[in-house]
Amino acid sequence: MDKVAVVILNYMNYRETFCCADSVLLQKNIDFKIIIVDNGSTNDSYTQLKRRYYRNPSVYILKTGKNYGFAKGNNIGIKYGKTKLFADFILLLNSDTKMIQKDFISKLLLGYKKNMGAMGGKIIQQNGMIQERYFDYVTFPGTLFLYLKLICDRYSIPILPEKLSVFLEKANKTEILHGSCLMLTPAFFEKYDLLYDKTFLYGEEILLYIFCKRAGLIQKKIQDAVILHKGKQSSSYLYGNRNSLRDKYVLSSFKYVVWESLKTRLQYGVGRI
């Protein structure tokens, strides 16, 4: 039986993490462990998490010295899952997700093919609506046009945004997986050890898509695997939903998206992605 490590990144909001982890513990007919990474919380999250799960042999609690962001924080859990627990698959979950199917992980595993680098499920929101399919710019120069427009919007630079919008309309968007639920597969780990870790927050899904494509791997949404995503829970703790700080994180991360998409264009040409 395949071994699965479920990595949940906690920042401050341990009550949401309780809900997420408890829903995972209800999964049936799967060999799995849960790794909760307390990502530099400044409240009593680590103490609360240890107190709740200290008797549960299926849950491991790790603590970082600071907030490493999405990719580096998850990489701590990924490395533990691969080297200590010898997991075949790593499932990354936002702490504000909840498994509403007791065979959710089983459904993901049943959908796996050897050419898949990453998988996700169908996401529903708290209001019961299916979350819209996630499309973004993954190829150069579309990534560059978007980056420049974000800069112009952030610093209120006139004229250019209108011209960039025209370029963006001509650039193609691609459907990618949502970062709230990502399963990394044995095929992924044959090519890579960890997630690309230069970003702090935002852009990670695009970079995962780019790196999978470079390795000749596809991504797949398993339609009958359904998970609840409450949304915007972590962001309220991280930057209080302040747009200015959010924009700072987006711009800081997106320059790496532009660079990696350009490298892919130069190395593999237009047709590769």
Quote the pLDDT of residue 98: 98
- Are the C-beta atoms of 78 and 189 separated by less than 8 Å? no
Longest dimension (CA), the chain: 61
Whole-number Å distance between alpha carbons of 151 and 247: 9
Q: What is the pLDDT of residue 273?
A: 52
Residues 6 or more apart in contact with residue 236 via CB below 8 angstroms: none
Homologous superfamily of 3-127+177-233 in CATH?
Spore Coat Polysaccharide Biosynthesis Protein SpsA; Chain A (3.90.550.10)
What does the alpha-carbon distance between residue 254 and residue 186 come to, in Å, rounded to a whole number? 28
- Each residue's pLDDT tens digit in the chain (273 positions)? 899 999 999 999 999 999 999 999 999 999 999 999 999 999 999 999 999 999 999 999 999 999 999 999 999 999 999 999 999 999 999 999 999 999 999 999 999 999 999 999 999 999 989 988 999 999 999 999 999 989 988 888 876 777 788 888 888 899 999 999 999 999 999 999 999 999 999 999 999 999 999 999 999 999 999 999 998 655 555 656 566 788 889 999 999 999 999 999 998 775 555
According to the model, what pLDDT value does residue 197 have?
A: 96
- Count of other CB atoms within 10 angstroms of residue 134: 18
Stated pTM of the model: 0.94
Ranges in the chain annotated CATH 3.90.550.10: 3-127+177-233
